[in-house]
């Protein structure tokens, strides 16, 4: 259990007076740690003012540097000593998905950030801070390159020239759905909060008893993430890019992107950057009309969409961001809100307050010189509901980097699993490629904060343990078996404690299988279970029930009720077997 030690008031890593009150500061100074039922310790001590002390001439920053250092924890930690080393098995060296890291910079400074008006997204907040750094880094920020978490925390490698300062930042961005650029003004207030002392972390890594550096690790984690976040698309803690590895086609306008998760960890080897690879589905950045053709799997260039096709396309495209291609270098972006029920050639809209009407085909030809070729297709509805805008499919292209959040079909899931299931050497190559692409050693943030990351996988000692003997029932032909290369089967073997299945039923959802085939499968299943040592009744409670695949709930309810009436049981178990050609559901 971590030991708590009383600190001397002269130690600099104590908070000797409370920093500026804010919810963020309270979060930093009270890290979540196991209390073992003893409650929380504040860990802050007040240093009294000495009588007759002369007032120093130091700056406010120098005073706050000593007075407001970050309280990492009131608990002291030390790595538990390893009790011993194993002797069994064959020794070997293995590579782990860890990359040794080091931070040579001085203590980190933490600042609170407030942006008014409030209610902006993290993405907008980061754009505001990026504009602030661009305008004031060489002057007001004292050449510092800060790292911002997009919410309320800002970190710098050293102190800024001020303890509190306000900035007025103007941000210009596109007004979605409108053909104008809007400018918004924000007031950004940056206030000094505390200094994170790096000494406890270095002592902990050296094996000494030290304060828990959890908040310091969190700071380093945010800094290292900032090194690469600007070059990737982030979703939660994962970062994705089509450049890590060539995107894998999933079909129906989707593709799999490779990505990774990273976090800094203290280990007995030192600081380590742990990286895990990941894959997820993205919408392929295609012309919208080509995406629709892939989605429906049919020719849409010469034939109109049916009502069912239009509903499917509308569901797939709603919320997707597109950019127009009919205005030359002007690539305005819009978010799709719907799909017109009429084809483009039938669409008209008012062009003035006198309600003079004009067709979409005429408007695009007169205003943009764009001739709509596929007027039999519906238009995309974009923008807000106050002003509906019509965009022809052929004039729009899907914006790159949009994650697909809807469900995948079976073929797409299988294809995605093939991407993620890799051999060890393939995983190693992807990890090395990711670290090389991230370029930690050349990144401006890495240089600013003195962070270095090794470009080789960490090697650790391991042992290949001998396989254990497997014990089976004495009535089987083979009573014991030693697995070879981690593999074994149940041929000529029986389990020691076989379960009993007295009542069961089967539901067939496949339209292509005859009842005799399903009955044969059920018989073979019961026979195999008995051979392996189970007690399995050969006959189902009710005859095999066939149902449509879109009526699973209805069929399951019927069969469960029928089984309960036959067996007087209140509860039943369900086993669902599914493949691309065959679907069975067992009730027992």
Strands 248-251 and 254-267: antiparallel
- Residues forming beta bridges with residue 265, ordered by sequence position: 272
Q: b/e string for 135-159 if b means 16 or more Cβ within 10 A?
A: eeeeeebeebebbbbbebbbbbbeb
- The C-alpha atoms of residue 273 and residue 70 are separated, in whole angstroms, by 24
Token look-up 């909060």 returns 193
Q: Could you report the per-residue pLDDT of 486-501, keeping only the tens digit for each? A: 888 888 899 999 888 8
Contact between residue 285 and residue 397 where contact means Cβ atoms under 8 Å apart: yes
- The C-alpha atoms of residue 561 and residue 357 are separated, in whole angstroms, by 61
Q: Which residues contact 387 (CB under 8 A, 6 or more apart)?
A: 177, 178
Contact between residue 360 and residue 348 where contact means Cβ atoms under 8 Å apart: yes
List, by residue range, all CATH 2.170.260.10 domains of the chain.
Answer: 288-398
The Cα-based distances of 190 to 154, 166, 172, 218 in angstroms read: 8, 6, 21, 20
Amino acid 445: pLDDT: 86
Residues in the chain with pLDDT < 70?
1-79, 174-181, 210, 385, 569-588
Amino acid 11: pLDDT: 36
Amino acid 31: pLDDT: 36
Contact between residue 306 and residue 284 where contact means Cβ atoms under 8 Å apart: no
**Which CATH code of 1.10.10.10, 3.30.470.20, 3.40.50.2300, 3.40.50.300 fits the domain covering 498-587?**
3.40.50.2300
CB atoms within 10 A of CB 505: 23
Contact between residue 528 and residue 536 where contact means Cβ atoms under 8 Å apart: no
Alpha-carbon dihedral sign for residues 563, 567, 571, 572: negative
List, by residue range, all CATH 3.40.50.2300 domains of the chain.
Answer: 498-587
Tell me which fold the domain 288-398 belongs to. paz domain (2.170.260)
Alpha-carbon dihedral sign for residues 304, 310, 316, 320: positive
This model's pTM is above 0.85: no
Amino acid 538: pLDDT: 87
């Amino acid at each position: 259990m971590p030991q708590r030690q009383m600190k001397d008031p002269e130690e600099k890593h104590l908070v000797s007076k409370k920093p500026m009150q804010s919810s963020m500061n309270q979060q930093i100074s009270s890290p979540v740690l196991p209390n073992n039922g003893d409650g929380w310790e504040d860990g802050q001590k007040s240093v009294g003012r000495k009588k007759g002390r002369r007032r120093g001439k130091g700056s406010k920053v120098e005073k706050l540097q000593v007075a407001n250092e970050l309280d990492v924890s009131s608990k002291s930690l030390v790595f538990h000593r390893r009790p011993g080393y194993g002797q069994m098995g064959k020794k070997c060296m293995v590579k782990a998905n860890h990359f040794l890291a080091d931070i040579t910079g001085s203590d980190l400074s933490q600042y609170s950030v407030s942006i008014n008006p409030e209610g902006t997204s993290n993405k907008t907040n980061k754009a505001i801070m990026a504009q602030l750094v661009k305008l004031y880094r060489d002057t007001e920020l004292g050449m510092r390159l800060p790292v911002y978490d997009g919410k309320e925390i800002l970190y710098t490698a050293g102190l800024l020239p001020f303890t509190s300062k306000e900035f007025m930042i103007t941000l210009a961005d596109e007004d979605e759905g409108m053909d104008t650029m809007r400018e918004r003004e924000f007031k950004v207030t940056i206030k000094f909060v505390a200094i994170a002392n790096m000494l406890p972390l270095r002592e902990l890594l050296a094996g000494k008893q030290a304060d828990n550096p959890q908040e310091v690790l969190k700071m380093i984690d945010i800094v290292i993430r900032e090194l690469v976040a600007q070059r990737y698309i982030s979703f939660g803690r994962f970062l994705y890019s089509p450049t890590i590895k060539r995107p894998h086609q999933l079909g129906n306008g989707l593709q799999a992107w490779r990505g990774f998760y990273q976090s800094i960890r203290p280990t007995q080897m030192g600081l380590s950057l742990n990286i895990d690879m990941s894959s997820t589905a993205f919408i392929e950045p295609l012309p919208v009309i080509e995406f629709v053709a892939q989605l429906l799997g049919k020719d849409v260039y010469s034939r109109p969409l049916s009502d069912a096709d239009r509903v499917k396309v509308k569901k797939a495209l709603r919320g997707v961001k597109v950019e127009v291609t009919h205005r030359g270098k002007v690539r305005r972006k819009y978010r799709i809100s719907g799909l017109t029920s009429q084809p483009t050639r039938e669409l008209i809209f008012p062009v003035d307050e006198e309600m003079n009407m004009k067709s979409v085909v005429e408007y695009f030809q007169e205003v943009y010189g764009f001739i709509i070729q596929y007027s039999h297709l519906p238009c995309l509805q974009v923008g807000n509901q106050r002003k509906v805008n019509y965009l022809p499919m052929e004039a729009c292209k899907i914006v790159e980097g949009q994650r697909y959040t809807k469900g995948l079909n079976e073929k797409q899931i299988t294809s995605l699993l093939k991407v993620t299931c890799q051999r060890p050497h393939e995983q190693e190559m992807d990890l090395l490629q990711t670290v090389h692409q991230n370029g930690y050693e050349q990144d401006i943030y890495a240089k600013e904060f003195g962070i270095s990351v090794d470009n080789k996988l960490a090697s650790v000692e391991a042992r290949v343990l001998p396989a254990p003997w497997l014990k089976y029932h004495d009535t089987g032909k083979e009573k014991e078996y030693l697995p070879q290369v981690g593999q074994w089967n149940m041929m000529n073997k029986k389990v020691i404690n076989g379960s009993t299945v007295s009542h069961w039923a089967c539901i067939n959802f496949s339209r292509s299988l005859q009842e005799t085939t399903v009955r044969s499968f059920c018989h073979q299943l019961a026979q195999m279970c008995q051979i392996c040592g189970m007690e399995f009744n050969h006959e189902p409670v009710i005859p095999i029930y066939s149902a449509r695949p879109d009526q699973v709930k209805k069929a399951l309810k019927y069969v469960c009720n029928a089984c309960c009436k036959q067996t007087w049981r209140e509860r039943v178990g369900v086993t669902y077997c599914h493949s691309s050609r065959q679907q069975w559901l067992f009730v027992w």
